[in-house]
A and B are shown apart, each in its own frame.
Chain A
């Protein structure tokens, strides 16, 4: 059964936060069990998608965030213009897909695959918060490892990395 009061509280918290909130964080604050709250939120996400509710809740791994409905994208576009989020270039998309499927991965490994220097692109992706550094590889020179971040999931509308389209089979 839907706990309207609890969901009302969560909606208000998410609205004020703007940013995503950890489900664990919410559970601790509201005095709920994390697994239980996750299940409740899952139901709520589906309900909001299905019914004609105003805002939807998006899930990114173990975090949730309030977002506008995709159906209203055109309306918002005509009212406010282009979203501040810019579309990525081909070089960025290529680099991101290599990181997404091979993470954690070093710059050298990415460049070996793309056949071109990738340091500039990596800098931009870091700045856009689409990737983050994920430690160093225990190899010669201890190169930095890169992995996708929450911003990556948000940018591509994915709840988790498992929702990535399957990588095409090798020919």
Chain B
């Protein structure tokens, strides 16, 4: 846990490396002839408490460091072969990245100072008159009495609403998916192919429509029927599976 807390103080693996380098009082290019890799790995121990995202950034750097360390064991001839598009070895790449990162880290500290100075200036928000001149509410032909009457009316309404919460009657469902599935299957034993509208009563309620549609999806899922639709919003044709 202690390590996770420590890692949270760094903006990333490069930041941690720069910290270790400055603590060891060495130059960036001397990183590979120092104990920095070991110290970095020590920091990484027990960091499973970190969130995955930043943990992967730190782990990637750990892998790079260990890889570079292992390269040092190889004979020099074999080592030289591996360069990137700029002709840099992994060691040179890392040193270049650290140098580049350090420049921006330094300049961001200067920005921090500019920020605290600039915080002394305050600005005001745009005038509201400019923003919504047309939406301004203007009362005409009104008096204090009229306003009072309107206010009392609102008060009375609020009181009424508070006293009697509107009662709501919940009816039992007329349709169930289970029942409607049986209806559809029964219909399909009589007729091999029906369209969706045929399944509904003459003036279907929203409930009937929804439940019938759900039942159809349920049957489709159970692979009891197959459906076809020629165009969007077009007629839905339903066919019994295995009826052919």
Asked if A117 is an interface residue, CB under 8 A from chain B, the answer is yes
Which residues does chain B contribute within 8 Å of A155, judged by CB atoms? 115, 118
Q: Mark B63-102, 1 if CB is under 8 A from A, else 0.
A: 0000000000000000000000000000000000101111
Which residue from chain B places its CB closest to the CB of A74 in the assembled complex?
B120
Chain A interface residue count: which class? 35 or more
Residues in A neighbouring B12, C-beta threshold 8 A: 114-116
A93 at the B interface (CB under 8 A): yes
Interface string of A12-52 (1 = CB under 8 A from B): 00011111000000000000000000000000000000000
- Assess whether B11 is interfacial by the CB under 8 Å rule: yes
Question: Which residue in chain B gives the minimum CB-CB distance to A82?
Answer: B119
**Chain A neighbourhood of B136, CB < 8 A:** none
Q: In the complex, what residue of chain B is closest to A110 when comparing beta carbons?
A: B104
List chain B residues, Cβ under 8 A from A170: 99-100, 103
Contact with A along B96-140 (1 / 0, CB 8 A): 010111111111111110111111111111110110000000000
For window 112-147 of A, CB contacts with B under 8 Å fall at: 113-117
Q: Measured between alpha carbons, how far is A83 from B111 in the docked complex, in Å?
A: 18
Known contacts A17-B130, A115-B57, A117-B53; A73/B100 CB under 8 A: no
Please give, as numbers and ranges, the residues of chain A lying within 8 Å of B109 by CB-CB distance: 93
**In the assembled complex, which residues on chain B have CB atoms less than 8 Å from the CB atom of A100?**
111
Residue in A closest to B118 when the chains form the complex, CB atoms: A157
Evaluate whether A67 and B123 lie within 8 angstroms (CB atoms) in the complex, with A94-B104, A154-B118, A168-B106 already known. yes
Tell me the minimal C-beta distance from B137 to chain A in angstroms.
21
How many of chain B's residues have a CB under 8 angstroms from any CB in A?
A: 42
Chain A nearest CB from B90 CB (Å) reads: 15
Task: Tell whether B39 is near chain A: CB-to-CB under 8 Å.
Answer: no
How far is the CB of B40 from the nearest CB of chain A, in Å? 13
A17 touching B126 in the complex, CB below 8 Å, given contacts A114-B14, A115-B13:
yes
Cβ–Cβ contact A156 & B118, under 8 A: yes
With beta carbons under 8 angstroms apart, the residue of B102, B111, B121, B123 that contacts A171 is: B102
Contact assessment for B127 and A18 in the assembled complex, using a CB-CB cutoff below 8 Å: yes
- A116 with B54, Cβ < 8 A, contacts A85-B119, A87-B116 known: yes
Spell out A's residues near B (CB within 8 Å): 15-19, 56, 58, 65-73, 76, 83, 85, 87-88, 90-91, 93-94, 96-98, 100-101, 113-117, 154-158, 165, 167-171
CB<8 Å pairs between A and B, sample of 12: A17-B126, A18-B125, A67-B122, A68-B120, A73-B121, A114-B11, A115-B97, A116-B11, A158-B114, A168-B106, A169-B103, A171-B99
